[in-house]
Amino acid sequence: GAVVSQHPSRVICKSGTSVKIECRSLDFQATTMFWYRQFPKQSLMLMATSNEGSKATYEQGVEKDKFLINHASLTLSTLTVTSAHPEDSSFYICSAGRSGQPQHFGDGTRLSIL
C-alpha cells in the first residue's frame, strides 16, 4: 500500500526554537497533503490543507504565521512550527492524498517544547 514517511518521529527542544517536520509520500504523487494535531486521548484536528505549488488553506483558529506549511513538490510537504512554546507541544500527523483515493497517514511527530 501507499507509504507516507514523516520525520522526525520525536523532537524535544527549548522554547523559542523553530521546528521543521517533513512529510513525504514515498510511492505515489500526492496532490494534497494534510496536517493534523492531536492532543492525548483526543481526536485529530485538521490544521491545514496544502496543494502542491499553492498556498496552504488553514482551518479557523490556526495561525498561519505560527505554523508555516510548504508543499514544494508532489511528494514533500513541510510544517514549520515557528518560535515554539510549551503550548505547541503535541502530536502532529501528516497525511497525503490524491483525487478519489483515501488519505495515507504518516506515523506522526511527538513535539515536546521545554
Contact positions toward another protein, by CB under 8 A? 1, 4, 6, 32, 34, 41-44, 46, 49, 91, 93, 95, 97, 99-108, 110
CB of 68 to another protein, least distance (A): 21
In the complex with another protein, which residue's Cβ is closer, 16 or 26? 26
Provide the minimum distance between the beta carbon of 97 and another protein in the complex, in angstroms, as a whole number.
Answer: 6
Q: Which is nearer to another protein, 44 or 82 (CB)?
A: 44
Nearer to another protein, 32 or 78 (CB): 32
Task: Report in angstroms how near the CB of residue 42 gets to another protein at its nearest.
Answer: 7
Buried b (16+ CB within 10 A) or exposed e, 52-90: beeebebeeebeeeebbbebeebbbbbbebeebeeebbb
Question: How far is 7 from 77, CA to CA, in rounded Å?
Answer: 11
CA-CA distance, 51 to 35, in Å (whole number)? 12
Q: How far is the CB of 16 from another protein (least distance, A)?
A: 26
Q: Which is nearer to another protein, 61 or 100 (CB)?
A: 100
CA distances from 74 to 15, 21, 85, 93, 108 (A): 32, 16, 30, 18, 19
